Amino acid sequence: MKAAVCHEFGQPLVVEEVELRAPEFGEVQVDVKACAICHSDIAYMEGSFGGSLPAVYGHEAAGIVTALGTGTSGYNLGDPVLVTLIRACGHCASCADAAPTTCETVHDRTRGPLSTSGGGLLEQGLSAGAFAQRVVVDQSQIARIPADIAMEAACLLSCGVITGFGAVSNTAKMNPGSSVVVLGAGGVGLNAIQGAVVCGASKIIAVDMTEEKLDTALEFGATHGVLVTSDKPHKQVKSLTGGRGADYVFVTVGASQAYDGAAKYLARRGSVVAVGMPPMGVKSSYSPLLLADAGQSILGSKMGGTVLKRDIPYLIDLYAQGRLKLDELVTRRYRLDEINDAIADTKAGNARRNVIVFD
């Protein structure tokens, strides 16, 4: 099959022939129909998160089940499904506590189902390797979707939507009437805004660098927009919240500057929710004294704390009811051989989500 392979960090991907073995015990094969470009993929391609090369990245995907390994259950050939990076063993402490996104069982991605055309090692990036015509993944990584949802919209449920929405509903467990600041109005930030709307936030204040992104944030449910480049944006947030600040600040961008300033927007007893992931080794600073004195907290949120079988049907229902925007998140569609153009456009900040479509 064809896949977009990363041979050198920071260099363009190469579309070439690779080998994909048949699914083994507990695994499924999915023919990929759509896979979005996520900033986590880009960070891996640039070497920001480490990993082995060569590698095939891509993890925000949707497609059709075309083969089943032994020991699988609940899926049939022809089922339309999401493909995610959430690989869960089902028996570690995190999985037992309904927290599969932090599964503690180590998985060697260099010895997975992928290999080079010559039989050499090829890392299955983010345990999915979905910048390819097909994937073989553990059955814990898929979730069934209705056949009438367009694949390029459905694939966004695999990461961008659940990461942003779930940070609000699962990680923060936001109470109705809360005030919210979302730092960054990109793909994940827009979904944090959608989550805040559904969970009943009283004020949702988007903070970003451009008026265009703030306008988009308003379309997705933000009540106010503040330019981060304006004079003391945290004071504008305080003014909008009656002097209190926000109950929750969701940092959806992987920039240390955003984390450094996040607590300035907080009300007493408020929480910063860490969603965006900076490169490995990047540090941020805050005052423990002020944090403790104000009774504030920092919460980490990986993939929105999603439990696929619980959360995907819920989000699909919201979409069917017109309460969750998916189609509007898709900016542009590209073929696999255009993937480097899609990546460049995403890095330039021009896209909510660019999607690679197959067939």
Residue 284 and residue 332 in one domain = no
Q: Beta-carbon neighbour count of residue 228 at 10 Å?
A: 17
Q: Which secondary-structure segment (H or E) carries 224? A: strand 224-227
Distance CA 161, CA 38 (A): 11
Q: Three-state SS for 198?
A: helix
In a domain, 318, yes or no: no
Note whether 110 and 247 are same-domain residues: no
- Are 143 and 181 contained in the same domain? no
CATH number for the domain that contains residue 103 = 3.90.180.10
Statement to judge: residues 212 and 343 lie in one domain:
no
Domain count, the chain: 2
Segment holding 182, helix H or strand E: strand 179-183
Check if the beta carbon of residue 55 is closer than 8 Å to that of residue 112.
Answer: no
- In degrees, rounded to 5, the angle at the alpha carbon of residue 258 between the alpha carbons of residues 256 and 261 is 105
- DSSP H stretches of helix in 74-136: 93-96
Same domain, 145 and 168: no
Please give the residue range of the domain that contains residue 237: 164-302
Question: What tokens were used for 107?
Answer: 């998985």
Please indicate, yes or no, if residue 320 is contained in any of the structural domains.
no
Helix (H, G, I), strand (E, B) or coil at 204: strand
Residue 255 burial by Cβ neighbours in a 10 Å radius (0-12, 13-18, 19+): middle
Sign of the dihedral defined by the CA atoms of residues 307, 309, 311, 316, in that order: positive
Do both 22 and 109 map to the same domain? Answer: yes
Does some domain include residue 77?
yes
Query: Would you give per-residue pLDDT tens digits along the chain (359 residues)?
Result: 999 999 999 999 999 999 999 999 999 999 999 999 999 999 999 999 999 999 999 999 999 999 999 999 999 999 999 999 999 999 999 999 999 999 999 999 999 999 999 999 999 999 999 999 999 999 999 999 999 999 999 999 999 999 999 999 999 999 999 999 999 999 999 999 999 999 999 999 999 999 999 999 999 999 999 999 999 999 999 999 999 999 999 999 999 999 999 999 999 999 999 999 999 999 998 899 999 999 999 999 999 999 999 999 999 999 999 999 999 999 999 999 999 999 999 999 989 999 999 98
128 lies in some domain: yes
**N-to-C CA span, the chain:** 13
